[in-house]
Structure 1
Amino acid sequence: MNAIEPTRPPLQSVPQRAVPRTQRQQRRHPNRGTLVETTAKLTVNIVLSSAAISALAQLLPYHMSQQAKLSDIQEEVKRTEKRVNRLSDNFRRYFDPQQAKSVMQEQSHRVDPSQRQVVLMDSSTTEEEELKMAN
């Protein structure tokens, strides 16, 4: 039990192996791949965003001119609809058999002989002036 233990030789330092250069760089920058990928994505997104913004800036004046043209056309359509409605009403009236007699009188300025002509006079006129007008 009390045996003598053999002595150990003194520990010698193990010569370090030469680590390849790429492994040393990876140890210094372990997230370099992620950094490059993120930078590339960010650059592409910035380029695409700037292209989209410039395209919108060029389309804005065109859009405004188209809106102005559209409003002009809508106003013209409203005026035309009013005119069409008026002409349609006149057309229906002119071709209505019940109103044919009144339309003919309007168009020819003749009066039906069975109708009495009404002359409006001012109440301030005297009888003498009425006689002069009658003659």
Structure 2
Amino acid sequence: MNAIHSIPPLKPEEPRRIARKRKNRRHPYRTTAIQTTAKIAVNLVLLVATGATMVKLVPYYLSQQHQLKEIKSEVEAAEGRVEQLRTDFNRYFDPQQAKSVMQEQSHRFEPGQRPLILVK
């Protein structure tokens, strides 16, 4: 008799499995809902950060555009001056026009040429 009483009776493990299945049946999409909520929250945080960054960058972008317009206008003016200087340089070093350039800069005339003086 002692041998019969010393062995504990075996309990079936099926009620545990049924309890787990019932728990899953109550919230079958709970993990999916938590993941989706976390993704939405992260995306919202990123959206807010992006919006704040854009708000800061727009005035900077506009000031850069204004500076770019000013620089372009200065470049156009400088290109005009450079072009004028190039034409003058080519004229000064042109052997065919050397005499006329020398006369303009020194106010000397050739011996056979008469000076022209304008009088009111």
Q: Same fold (TM over 0.5)?
A: yes
Aligned CA distance change for structure 1 residues 70 and 55 (closer, same or farther; 3 Å):
same
For 1:95, the equivalent position in structure 2 comes to 93
* CA distance in 2 between partners of 1:48 and 1:78 (Å): 43
Residue 86 in 1 paired to residue 113 in 2? no
* CA distance in 2 between partners of 1:94 and 1:120 (Å): 26
Instruction: Determine which structure has greater relative contact order: mean sequence separation of CA pairs < 8 Å that are 6+ residues apart, divided by chain length.
Output: 2
Indicate the RMSD between aligned Cα atoms, in angstroms. 2.3
Q: Secondary structure at the match of 2:70?
A: helix
* CA distance in 2 between partners of 1:59 and 1:119 (Å): 65
CA displacement 1:67-115 (0-9 Å, x = unmatched): 1111111111111111011011101111111101111111123333323
TM-score (norm 2): 0.73
TM-score (norm 1): 0.66
Residue 64 in 1 paired to residue 78 in 2? no
The alignment-based identity, stated in percent, is 51
For 1:109, the equivalent position in structure 2 comes to 107
* Of 59-68 and 25-34, the range deviating more from structure 2: 25-34
Kindly name which structure, 1 or 2, has the bigger radius of gyration based on alpha carbons.
Answer: 1
**Structure 1 spans left out of the alignment, 5+ residues:** 1-16, 122-135
* CA distance in 2 between partners of 1:81 and 1:119 (Å): 36
Q: How many residues align?
A: 105
- The answer to which structure has the higher helix fraction is 2
For 1:131, the equivalent position in structure 2 comes to none
* CA distance in 2 between partners of 1:111 and 1:84 (Å): 31
**Structure 2 spans left out of the alignment, 5+ residues:** 1-14
* Of 33-42 and 108-117, the range deviating more from structure 2: 108-117
For 1:54, the equivalent position in structure 2 comes to 52
* CA distance in 1 between partners of 2:114 and 2:36 (Å): 100
CA displacement 1:27-53 (0-9 Å, x = unmatched): 222111111111111111111111011
